[in-house]
């Protein structure tokens, strides 16, 4: 599978774009005319710059409003075409994209268009060039690839072919199986884009909201499977118009694009009876069975404070690392590590971000396979030397540069805690609070990184993303989207902060980057848990008393239940599947907190309650401009 991307998909000046595209591992690039016009060099210079990066120019585009014009406009469009051909020859590319005519002057008529293309084919052939015709979803007479194909078929010229673009076909819900009858040698290139499902004007939707395959909601995999069925094995080229990408980091967007295509190729390869695209083979997506541990990096002072909070939450220190300053705290199936080691990555992370949950472990069936899939999808591996006899755990870099360790129950990896840690039995003054496992883990990221991490998680691990939910912070909106699996053993909520005055934004600003902002533990009985917590000296986050009158009325709660919720600062929510009880800790440091939930069938995360939690947490925050104590 050869991969390409249109220059328009990425931000920056043409040289920055090309450098990012080459670094991400693409084989080719579509030169978008405006990128070329805005650049000071000649077409020949652009061509050599592209080739110096080891890239091929796959396509020059767009050539607009060509077919079906009356005279004298018709003659002029042919003159314009000859000038494009001049540029193409100087650039060193042989394919141009003609998109279907949108001009009110165009006459329509399938044979008129076919005749125009036949003549254009004759002119292109003289120069050894080819022309691909693409149906724009909003074309004046041609807005369906089936009609575009009929024109190409009737044009009957070796130098005229069709260009298929997933957005134009899928946005109009055209039957994708119609692609299967097109001969592969007449498909000159395939352009791919996904998009979130939004009901809006097609042109506006296409120009502003396209995103990488797998980042949106369109069936791009089925589209690509239909392409593969023709036997086509040419370039798959991303053509993404997205306002956010145009303002983003060229390197990150290019890397996301390349990952999206590798992931797409892998998904298509797994569809039975599809004629395989020649794609990299890799293990299937890793099923996550649970969160094996979460590790905090801290200095001695913060570590003592955090350990005190963990004890009020009912965690006991059960083991100490044999060679590093790392303590293990446990309760139920929850393992938390507290790392104050002066060397290594944890310390480096602390130096930049302060006390954070900088690492977590996903329990998978086969850590080696999960790791090799992650690497095949462009994840950055993490290596750290371990002492003799200790277990080396495979890891990749995740959100905010933090770590995701991959563990399984095979061999030494399954026993790393016994091998690397020395048991401690003297931490007995703490009563357990019936916490059983990690229900979810919330990561806060800059809004423009949301799609990156959604793609990262869903490409590597067996998980899906839920629709985006707006969380109302008194200072602005935080967008929240969840990566979860069918069994609920993996639940990561991603919160995208747009401004630093929101609690999420404050967290990112103060932590110098994205990271884990809260950890939610599951209990089967929140009332038993809250009593045990209070006996340990834990103080829940105070919730406004006004909340309870509202929640009682909204859900028709028994007043006795409302009173008990209110007495313990417990929040309540319900959906068609069941009930949800939540309580929070106050924040630790710059906005990190713990949550305790009781979930009985309920599928959400208490989004409607977030505003009350945020208001409570914000009261306790250090005001801006006041130095740390």
The single residue listed with the structure tokens 């095979």 is 410
Residue 79, both tokens: 């003159």
Of 35 and 239, nearer to Mg ion (C-beta) is 239
Largest Cα span, the chain: 93
Interface ranges with Mg ion (CB under 5 A): 165, 191, 239, 520, 595
Q: How far is the CB of 424 from Mg ion (least distance, A)?
A: 31
Q: How far is the CB of 293 from Mg ion (least distance, A)?
A: 19
Of 406 and 463, nearer to Mg ion (C-beta) is 463
Give the CB-side neighbour count of residue 277, counting CA atoms within 13 A. Answer: 29
Residue at shortest CB range from Mg ion? 165
Q: How far apart are CA 212 and CA 370, in angstroms?
A: 23
Q: How far apart are CA 254 and CA 262, in angstroms?
A: 13
Of 446 and 520, nearer to Mg ion (C-beta) is 520
Q: How far is the CB of 518 from Mg ion (least distance, A)?
A: 6
Of 127 and 436, nearer to Mg ion (C-beta) is 436
Going by the DSSP 8-state scheme, the letter that residue 570 receives in this structure is: -
- CA 233 to mean position of chain CA atoms: 27
Q: How far is the CB of 533 from Mg ion (least distance, A)?
A: 17
Q: How far is the CB of 610 from Mg ion (least distance, A)?
A: 8
Of 189 and 455, nearer to Mg ion (C-beta) is 189
Q: How far apart are CA 115 and CA 121, in angstroms?
A: 10
Of 94 and 165, nearer to Mg ion (C-beta) is 165
Bridging pattern class, strands 56-63 and 95-99: parallel
Q: How far is the CB of 621 from Mg ion (least distance, A)?
A: 18
Q: How far apart are CA 141 and CA 145, in angstroms?
A: 12
State the alpha helices, DSSP H only, in 230-292. Answer: 243-246, 250-269
Q: What angle is formed at CA 231 by the lines to CA 227 and CA 237, rounded to 5 degrees? A: 45
Q: How far is the CB of 604 from Mg ion (least distance, A)?
A: 10
Of 100 and 331, nearer to Mg ion (C-beta) is 100
Q: How far apart are CA 444 and CA 425, in angstroms?
A: 36
Bridging pattern class, strands 235-238 and 187-192: parallel
Q: How far is the CB of 134 from Mg ion (least distance, A)?
A: 5
Bridging pattern class, strands 464-465 and 476-484: antiparallel
Which H or E element spans position 362? strand 356-364
Going by the DSSP 8-state scheme, the letter that residue 7 receives in this structure is: G
User: Which of 195, 146, 200, 218 shows the shortest CA–CA distance to 175?
Assistant: 146
Of 492 and 551, nearer to Mg ion (C-beta) is 492
Of 239 and 590, nearer to Mg ion (C-beta) is 239
Instruction: Give the Å distances, CA to CA, from 524 to 216, 292, 581.
Output: 36, 20, 10
CB contact set of 308 (below 8 Å; sequence gap of 6+): none
Spatial contact of 469 and 608, defined as CB atoms under 8 Å apart: no
Q: How far is the CB of 164 from Mg ion (least distance, A)?
A: 9
User: Which of 264, 549, 311 shows the shortest CA–CA distance to 431?
Assistant: 311
Of 282 and 288, nearer to Mg ion (C-beta) is 288
Q: How far is the CB of 386 from Mg ion (least distance, A)?
A: 33
Which H or E element spans position 327? strand 326-331
Of 77 and 166, nearer to Mg ion (C-beta) is 166
Q: How far is the CB of 387 from Mg ion (least distance, A)?
A: 37
The single residue listed with the structure tokens 């003297």 is 426
């Amino acid at each position: 599978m050869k991969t390409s991307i249109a220059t328009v998909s990425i931000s920056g000046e043409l040289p920055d774009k090309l450098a990012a595209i080459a670094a991400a591992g693409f084989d080719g690039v579509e030169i978008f005319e405006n990128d070329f016009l805005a650049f000071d060099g000649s077409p020949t210079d652009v061509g050599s710059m592209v080739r110096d990066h080891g890239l091929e120019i796959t396509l020059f585009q767009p050539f607009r409003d060509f077919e079906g014009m009356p005279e004298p406009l018709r003659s002029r469009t042919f003159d314009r075409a000859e000038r494009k051909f001049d540029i193409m020859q100087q650039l060193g590319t042989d394919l141009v994209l003609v998109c279907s005519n949108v001009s009110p002057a165009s006459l329509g008529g399938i044979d008129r268009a076919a005749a125009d293309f036949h003549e254009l084919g004759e002119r292109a052939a003289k120069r050894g060039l080819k022309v691909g015709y693409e149906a724009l979803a909003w074309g004046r007479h041609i807005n369906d690839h089936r009609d575009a194909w009929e024109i190409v078929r009737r044009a009957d010229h070796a130098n005229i072919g069709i260009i298929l673009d997933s957005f134009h076909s899928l946005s109009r819900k055209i039957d994708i199986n119609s692609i299967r009858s097109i001969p592969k040698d007449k498909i000159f290139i395939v352009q791919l884009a996904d998009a979130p499902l939004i009901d809006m004007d097609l042109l506006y939707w296409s120009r502003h909201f396209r995103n990488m395959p797998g980042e949106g909601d369109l069936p791009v995999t089925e589209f690509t499977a239909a392409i593969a069925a023709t036997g086509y094995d040419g370039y798959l080229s991303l053509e993404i118009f997205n306002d956010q990408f145009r303002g983003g980091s060229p390197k990150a967007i290019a890397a996301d694009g390349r990952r999206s295509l590798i992931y797409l190729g892998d998904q298509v390869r797994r569809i039975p009876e599809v004629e395989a695209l020649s794609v990299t083979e890799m293990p299937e997506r890793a099923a996550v069975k649970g969160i094996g541990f979460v590790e905090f990096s801290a200095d001695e002072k913060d570590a003592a404070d955090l350990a005190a909070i963990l004890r009020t939450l009912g965690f006991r220190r059960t083991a100490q690392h044999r060679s590093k300053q790392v303590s293990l705290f446990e309760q139920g199936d929850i393992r938390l590590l507290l790392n104050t080691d002066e060397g290594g990555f944890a310390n480096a992370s602390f130096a930049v971000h302060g006390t954070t949950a900088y690492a977590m472990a996903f329990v998978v069936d086969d850590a080696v396979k999960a790791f090799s899939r992650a690497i095949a999808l462009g994840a950055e591996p993490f290596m750290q030397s371990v002492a003799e006899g200790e277990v080396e755990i495979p890891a990749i870099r995740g959100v905010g540069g933090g770590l995701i360790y991959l563990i399984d129950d095979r061999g030494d990896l399954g026993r790393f805690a016994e091998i690397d840690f020395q048991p401690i039995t003297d931490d007995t003054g703490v009563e357990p609070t019936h916490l059983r496992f990690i229900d979810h883990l919330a990561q806060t990221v800059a809004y423009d990184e949301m799609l990156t991490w959604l793609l990262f998680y869903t490409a590597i691990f067996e998980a899906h993303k839920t629709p985006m939910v707006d969380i109302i912070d008194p200072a602005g909106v935080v967008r929240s989207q969840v990566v979860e699996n069918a069994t609920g053993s993996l639940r990561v909520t991603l919160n995208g902060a747009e401004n630093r005055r929101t609690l999420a934004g404050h967290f990112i600003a103060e932590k110098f980057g994205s990271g884990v902002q809260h950890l939610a533990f599951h209990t089967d009985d929140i009332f038993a848990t809250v009593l045990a917590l209070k006996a340990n000296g834990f103080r829940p986050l105070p919730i406004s008393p006004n909340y309870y009158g509202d929640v009682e009325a909204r859900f028709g709660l028994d007043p006795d239940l409302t009173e008990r919720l209110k007495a313990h600062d417990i929040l309540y929510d319900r959906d068609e599947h069941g009930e949800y009880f939540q309580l929070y800790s106050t924040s630790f440091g710059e906005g990190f907190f713990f949550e305790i939930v009781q979930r009985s069938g309920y599928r959400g995360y208490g989004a409607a309650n977030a505003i009350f939690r945020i208001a409570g947490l914000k009261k306790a925050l250090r005001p801006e401009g006041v130095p740390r104590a």
